[in-house]
Structure 1
Amino acid sequence: MSAHPDTPVFFAVPDVIDDPGRVSGGNLYDQRVRDGLRADGWDMRMALVGDDDRQTAAALTALPDGALVLLDGLLLARESAAVADHGARLRLVVLAHMVAGELTDDERAAFRVAQRIIATSGWTRSELIAQDAADPHRIVVAHPGTDAAPVTTVSPSGGRLLCVATVAPHKGQDLLVRALAGFADLEGWTCTIVGSLEAAPDFVAELKDAIAAAGLAERITFTGVLTGAALDEAYRQADLVVLPSRTESYGMAVAEALARGIPVLASGVGGIPEAIARNEGGMIVSPDDPWALAVVLRQWWASADRRRELTAAALTARGAARRWGDTAAIVSAALDAAVTARAAERQAARS
């Protein structure tokens, strides 16, 4: 239970947080943090922010002086100057899902006014420190969690591939398609791509054209967004989860797969190695490299013993998976620290 149950938390997030058509790792993280903090006794008050100009500024302006604010980092990136302007009068905690390239001066200023920054991976924390966004002691890591899930039973052939990610260039599905094009004559495999098709429609169109040109239209399928039981079933039908991202702050699909005892093949970018951790059921290849993906896939299909070893390793490590309750507890502690820090600052000012 929080030490400050009577302190309301204004959680400023994009207004698509619960939109079933806009499922993303960031939205899922925000949902689970919201629900976990409520369970921990915090009075959560949602501030849903649209993507029109000045929406973040308007939301922050409406909050009283000294309000405890948990701010999704996407809003900071959209309106950094507004966050910096209001940060001094608020008790601000920023939830940094990702550092996308070089921070602007306004973004650094906004991060620096925060009492605490919650990074979703050690990689993100390192990026913030390297770009001088905040004092390291103000940045804590709250990795995404996973839910307890049934164990998946793999097929003898290992031919059922699954990729769970928004279909967009930074997720690298084109790299996977290029790798799979070399296996057009190999029987017995399929690939299911789960994720929004609306984020990058031109990329999706080009991807489908490439799949058709390779003669793989009946073997590579798109489901769009899946949630709940439908997503569970997609994992249950998978032998290997592939995440060929070009950029990734953590890799929630990797963690979800390993929590279900499914081996993974992923590019070694960002926080993906953290998601795999010491799980020997995870295989990492160099990023932006379809040839490397193809080599590992060929090895996977060539050896039943190799598939059994990787699956056994994934199953063995299931008990070490991070849970969402742990994530919420870290965020709760950061909010407590922000409350305490502001009280200490006021006391010092009166002395």
Structure 2
Amino acid sequence: MINNRRTICILGGTSTVGVTACKVLSKLGYSLRVSVRNIETIKDTGMYMAPNIQLFELDIDKESNIGKFFKGSDLVIGAIGPSADYSEKMLLEAMAENIPYVDPGGIHLIRKMRNSSMKGTAIVGSGIFPGLSGWMLSSVLKEAFNDDLIEMIIGGVYNFSKAAAIDYVEEIKSYKAGIPMACVRNGKILPAQKRSPLNLPTRISKLSILPYVTEEIQEIIQGKYMLNIDSYTAAPVSLFSIVNKAHCQKKDLVNALMGQKNSNQKAFIWVRQNKGNDSRCIYFEGKNPSVLTGEILAITANAIFEMPRKDGIYTMASYLEKYQVLDELKKIDKFKSEGKI
């Protein structure tokens, strides 16, 4: 039973991710403090009218001490982007108040803070990918053997907000989010051995596919020396054409990504475990990646109160290893899920 007196602070109340997380958590009975840069822009929209929601005006660029906004609360959600600019500040402010922190981005902070002596709980990469993708892969690896081959495709058709586009460009220009044209053999990252999976799913065949070992996968394989993974990212041809111009100015790339307007968005995660001549496949598909990310973010926040607390900074895949994420997602959104984890 959820304690309705628990309070969750959400930084970034006008983003689709923040709005969605707020809706889910409000229905669960939490008291919510939601920050927006300018209350005037939303006061006539009817957003945040529920009695368990308090609205605050806060500009993270101008406010030097955001900790006072969530002092005394039970959990902080950082839904402000770009993650490269804001995640570290939000996380550190929450840790200074000893309040658990959840972020759909911020996975780059794992390596930066891994050896720090930080007290408190932080879960980063709590969205679709990173997030649900890593959780699904980790679930499959629990029953994997040394000679198994895991094939994984993540991607879809989606639109970019300005914050998401900036993060994406930062990642592809520096390879922070992963290593293209690579695979994992015996726990080591090596040049890709194939351009596409052995059995490409029909529903994905119209998209362009690129071998890509994500930062999330790199975290999962830490210390596991006998893993064999072929991982791929999939997206429309137009998106890859933009990515191929990564030598262009950052501003031009961001604008080009934001100009991609797809009326039928979807996100998917496909995982196949090959055991000799046998295999099993798990597939997830959902609409509007931003909404899905907000829902997964809310599930992660709620799970913190239901599970034994652990200090440190974790990926969602690591912290929610034993939590039934898909069962919770089925309760709040329509999506396709095939196969059993």
TM over 0.5: no
Q: Which has the higher contact order (CA 8 A, sep 6+)?
A: 2
Please, what TM-score do these two structures have when normalized by structure 2?
A: 0.38
Write 1 or 2 for the structure with the bigger share of helix. Answer: 1
Write 1 or 2 for the structure with the bigger share of strand. Answer: 2
State the structure with more CA Rg.
1
Please, what TM-score do these two structures have when normalized by structure 1?
A: 0.37
